[in-house]
């Protein structure tokens, strides 16, 4: 597996409501080498910031992030070739009129021949059971179908790391199970934030993020138990010992 390393990473941003910087993440250090990594926590805890650091969508205020040795600031092109990102809202990344065209667009650099590119796109769509929807307008698709189209477009270029920001949010039970089975069968390293704790329990390692800090880092079951305790009791989050 690739190694995704956070080296004392802080992210702080300006806000209109206060003169001082707002800290989104506070000096976190991680070495992520497992194949299935979950990130859980409340809305606004910093989960999405952690994910966006992995492919350079967010840059550290302090510290650095590397993916297989490539710095996400200095080597951002290399990083983005190797890291696929699936957003919560698929309409933020589906830019073509149909799913087929979107997948072909993602393949344009890696597959130059038009006929071969179409075949590769069809294979990527068929893998997720989307081929019969390939030529429908993305605006005619359900939210779940759009999410799976976005995933197909990312997987088509075979990234080594797949980052997913709450991918099951818009999915019904059938499509959620399709997503679960698809992710389980992938060779890529997966780093995924989710509110779906059943999905989190299938990860090899789970991070619990609270108020910009990693308050638990370990196995899936104890991580979910820790998060449930935080939610149930409203306990303040402290740094892990």
Computed from CA positions of residues 105, 111, 116, 119, in that sequence, does the dihedral angle turn out positive or negative? Answer: negative
Q: Is residue 227 part of a domain?
A: yes
Question: Angle at which helices 143-155 and 114-127 pack, to 10 degrees?
Answer: 130
Cα separation, 59 vs 10, whole angstroms: 9
Token digits of residue 187: 């060779």
Residue 74 domain boundaries: 4-233
Is 238 a member of any domain? no
Average pLDDT in the 10-17 region? 86
Residues with Cβ within 8 Å of 103's Cβ and at least 6 positions away in sequence, in order, are 121, 124, 125, 134, 149, 152, 153, 156
Token pair for residue 42?
């409340």
- Global pTM value: 0.88
End-to-end CA distance of the chain: 27
The total of structural domains in the chain comes to: 1
Please tell me the predicted confidence (pLDDT) of residue 241: 38
Q: Does a structural domain hold residue 240?
A: no
Q: Is residue 114 part of a domain?
A: yes
- State which H helix or E strand residue 104 sits in: helix 99-106
Confidence tier at 238 by pLDDT (50, 70, 90): low
For residue 60, tell me if it sits in a domain: yes
Confirm whether 239 is domain-assigned: no
Q: Flag whether 209 is in a domain.
A: yes
Average pLDDT over residues 29-40: 96
Domain with residue 171: its CATH number is: 3.40.50.300
**102 within domain boundaries:** yes
Q: In this predicted model, what pLDDT tens digit does every residue of 163-221 receive, in sequence order?
A: 999 988 878 888 888 888 888 888 899 999 999 999 999 999 999 999 999 999 999 99
From CA 208, how far away is CA 28, in angstroms rounded?
12
């Amino acid at each position: 597996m690739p190694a995704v390393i956070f080296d004392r990473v802080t992210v702080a941003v300006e806000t209109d409501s206060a003169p001082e910087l707002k800290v989104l993440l506070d000096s976190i250090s991680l070495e992520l080498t497992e194949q299935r990594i979950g990130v859980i926590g409340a809305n606004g805890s910093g989960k999405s910031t952690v994910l966006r650091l992995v492919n350079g969508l967010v840059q550290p205020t302090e510290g650095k992030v590397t993916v297989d040795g490539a710095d996400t600031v200095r080597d951002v092109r290399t990083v983005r070739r190797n890291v696929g990102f699936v957003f919560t809202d698929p309409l933020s990344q589906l830019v073509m009129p149909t799913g087929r065209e979107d997948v072909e667009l993602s393949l344009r650099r890696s597959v130059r021949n038009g006929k071969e590119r179409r075949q590769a796109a069809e294979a990527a769509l068929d893998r997720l059971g989307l081929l019969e929807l390939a030529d429908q307008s993305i605006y005619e698709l359900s939210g779940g179908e759009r999410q799976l189209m976005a995933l197909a477009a990312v997987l088509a270029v075979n990234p080594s790391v797949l980052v997913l920001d709450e991918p099951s949010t818009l999915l019904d039970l059938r499509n959620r199970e399709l997503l679960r089975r698809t992710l389980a069968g992938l060779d890529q390293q997966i780093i995924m934030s989710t509110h779906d704790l059943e999905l989190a329990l299938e990860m090899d390692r789970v991070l619990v993020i609270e108020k910009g800090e990693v308050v638990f880092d370990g196995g899936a079951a104890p991580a979910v138990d820790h998060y449930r305790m935080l939610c149930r009791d409203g306990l303040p989050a402290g740094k892990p010992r």
